[in-house]
Structure 1
């Protein structure tokens, strides 16, 4: 059954009237791809994860020998230093997202 408008559900959910987003409208439970099926947040998350995979694959593809040397060097760094580097990356990424959005 293809509807093109938001249809109120019968009854009340959590004290509020719930709606089902139909195909072609933003929101959750729209049929189609991940963004249309699960909502814009999931579409953004899936897009971000795909972009991470592309960026992670650049170095081994473009310079595999340098990538191996980098991994060997990283294996000699202490766990504490790696955790601090990871924390700094997460904080920098969060700050950049805050500034962009």
Structure 2
């Protein structure tokens, strides 16, 4: 699988679309979730970040 700059920009654009859907549709729900995240410990946030990275890598491997 080859990646060029167009693929990177498309992926970035899709990420922005998905990141913007929840705050656009439910700003109060988004605010509530963000306040819940503020009380998590660093280890819990790191674990969630690692899980997202691993799932993303698995998806890329599966799709590629």
TM-score normalised over the length of structure 2: 0.92
Q: Over the residues paired in the alignment, what is the CA RMSD in angstroms?
A: 0.9
What 5-or-longer segments of structure 1 have no aligned partner?
1-39
Deviations 1:4-43 (A, max 9, x none): xxxxxxxxxxxxxxxxxxxxxxxxxxxxxxxxxxxx5111
Judging by fraction of residues, say which structure has more helix: 2
Q: Which has the larger radius of gyration?
A: 1
RCO greater where, 1 or 2, for CA within 8 Å and sep 6 or more?
2
Paired residues, number: 62
What 5-or-longer segments of structure 2 have no aligned partner?
none
TM-score normalised over the length of structure 1: 0.59
Give every structure 1 segment of 4 or more consecutive aligned residues whose post-TM-superposition deviation is greater than 6 Å.
Answer: none
